[in-house]
A and B are shown apart, each in its own frame.
Chain A
Amino acid sequence: MRNTVAIMQRELLSLFFSPIGYIVITGFLLITGVLVMDSFGPGKPATLRSVFGFTPYVLTFIVPAIAMRTISEEYRSGTIETLMTAPVSDVQMVIGKYLAALVFYVIMLASTLIYLILMMIFGSPDMGASLSSYLGLLLVGVAFTAFGVFASSLTRNQIVAWIVGAVPLILFVWFAGFIVDRTEGWMRDAFQRVNVVRHLDQFNRGLVTLEGLVFFVGAAALFLFLTVKVVESHRWR
């Protein structure tokens, strides 16, 4: 347990030290800031739904950028060797790094609370729906970060890690509607179960579903498990 925390602390330090971290947060706030401008206007409903609706699309490439360094940098610099010869298990290492990336994401997400506060000053937004939206975005972060960390474990090159993490997420989220329209029957049902956009829509409408919770947390668990396996396999090469 202490190992996991130690690794998380170190990784967090690294994330805040690296310029990538600040570029990511700035980029995210810039994009969401521009989007949110639309929501503020006389006579408009006091809701951040349009922003929250679009945010997951942005997160598909933002979150993998947060996670891209976590494991790939250890490969590249060779520090994986000192990590794997210390009394630290591979699971502790992966979880520690994952938590660091997740904390970074939460901090980034929390900075958007300013929009909610502004809305509260100028109007009276539905707090329940706003809170459930944030929960949805939090869960998206939980799942996307795990996928980003998994992508990071596959290569020693940060950029490749980012691309390998972002592209599947982009396909999954940006083309969700496209896929739903073009499929039917059991294929459509199967896709709908893992359709990030659909789950998030529900959260945005104030509907906190167990199905959504299980999906996001389960996806995170799956990809973290796979990450541990990939990392372990590096010993055998």
Chain B
Amino acid sequence: MIEVRNLAKYYGSVRAVDNVSFTIAEGEVVGFLGPNGAGKTTTLRVLTCYQPATSGSAKVAGHDVFTESMAVRREVGYLPESVPLYPEMRVREYLHFRGKLRGLDRSRRNAAIARVSERCWLADVINRPISQLSKGFRQRVGLADALLHNPRVLIMDEPTIGLDPAQIRETRSLIRELAQEHTVLLSSHILPEVEVTCRRIIIIHRGKIVASGTPAELRQRISAGSQLIAELKGPEAEVTAGIRKLDGVSDVHSEPADGWTRVTVSARHDLREAIYKLSAEKGWPLRELRRDVASLEDFFVKIVAGAHEAEG
């Protein structure tokens, strides 16, 4: 559905997007993840035909974004980061305007507006001027606009930015719903969001793709593996030595915790049972035992930091 090959975009001498290639199949929900300034918005702008690429190619729904721009625009619903709207218009008027631009005649427009205002919970504000709406509602209006013509592809730039937690949750569940009927590409710098809504993540940093895969695949790539945390009542040195002897331990860090010893263990596999047995064997009471699976956040920070180091 979306094919990008060796896409590059320069703003003057600044390299915003550098040799980016990826493919998104129909029905996929893909998240573009990256720190601010990574090139996410630029890539989305090329895909939505707002700006042309400096080099490379991009195709959406089989149409080239440069040579078949109008065809691409008909297939795409775009929600820009700034959610630009006309403050003097009422929501209904705005949606009618956008519907006309999409080529919908009056009856189809009315039906479409009814559909999207229900989907995006706009029924209460449909006759209100946009200037009176809160950020959350404006976001929904923007999303409603993107959905009006029932496009095959939805492209959203930071769809939950500036929303309060309740609105964020609603928007995310809406995105998951939409994913069932549309191909979705969204960008974000908020990791939990991408983790929760997307089936596949593309991490972009300084214009280059540094990682791509499902959240599970990405997590497995962390070499640190899992960490175990345990608190045992015993002399720190002995506890540390005892744990270090366990099979598969790569690193042990210990610190006293009001009479107990708190150990953080890096290991290749789950050593919880082994630690329990050790505590029983040595007679050290055990009051905490848990395993922290590496989070995507660690991965993200690591990847971005790693990319930093690689560049020097």
Contacts and interface: CB of A to CB of B under 8 A. Distances in A.
Interface stretch (A46-54, A74-82, A168-176, A192-200): A74-82
Contacts of B89: 10, 13-14
Interface residues of B, number: 28
A77 to B, nearest CB: 6
Given A13-B93, A87-B73, A81 B101 contact: no
B50 interface: yes
B242 interface: no
A236 B52 contact: yes
Given A3-B101, A13-B89, A87-B102, A82 B52 contact: no
A84 B88 CA distance: 20
Contact of B50 (A2, A3, A5, A84): A84
Contacts of B78: 82, 85
B162 interface: no
Given A77-B84, A82-B145, A6 B100 contact: yes
Interface string B38-53: 0000000100111110
A89 B103 CA distance: 13
B74 interface: yes
Interface in A48-88: 77-82, 84-88
Nearest to A234: B51
A19 B62 CA distance: 46
Contacts of A2: 100, 103
Contact of A81 (B82, B93, B98): B82
A7 B98 CA distance: 9
A82 B80 contact: yes
B70 A82 contact: no
A178 interface: no
B22 interface: no
Contacts of A111: none
A89 B128 CA distance: 29
B76 interface: yes
Contacts of A85: 48-50, 73, 76, 78, 80
Contacts of A80: 84
Given A81-B50, A85-B48, A10 B97 contact: yes
A235 B107 CA distance: 34
B70 A87 contact: yes
Contact of B51 (A7, A86, A236): A236
A6 B73 contact: no
Contact of A82 (B11, B74, B84): B84
A77 B103 contact: no
Name A's interface SS: helix
A18 interface: yes
B116 to A, nearest CB: 15
A186 interface: no
A235 B52 contact: yes
A168 to B, nearest CB: 29
B280 interface: no
A87 B50 CA distance: 11
Interface in B179-197: none
Contacts of A89: 70
B52 A86 contact: no
Contacts of A88: 101
A7 B100 CA distance: 9
Interface string B49-91: 1111000000000000000001001101010101011111100
A2 B49 CA distance: 21
A86 B87 CA distance: 19
A78 B101 contact: no
Interface in A1-30: 2-3, 5-7, 9-10, 13-14, 17-18
29 contacts: A2-B103, A5-B100, A10-B86, A10-B89, A13-B93, A14-B86, A14-B89, A77-B86, A78-B80, A78-B82, A79-B86, A81-B82, A82-B78, A82-B84, A82-B98, A84-B50, A85-B49, A85-B73, A85-B76, A85-B78, A85-B80, A86-B102, A87-B70, A87-B73, A87-B74, A88-B101, A235-B50, A235-B51, A237-B11
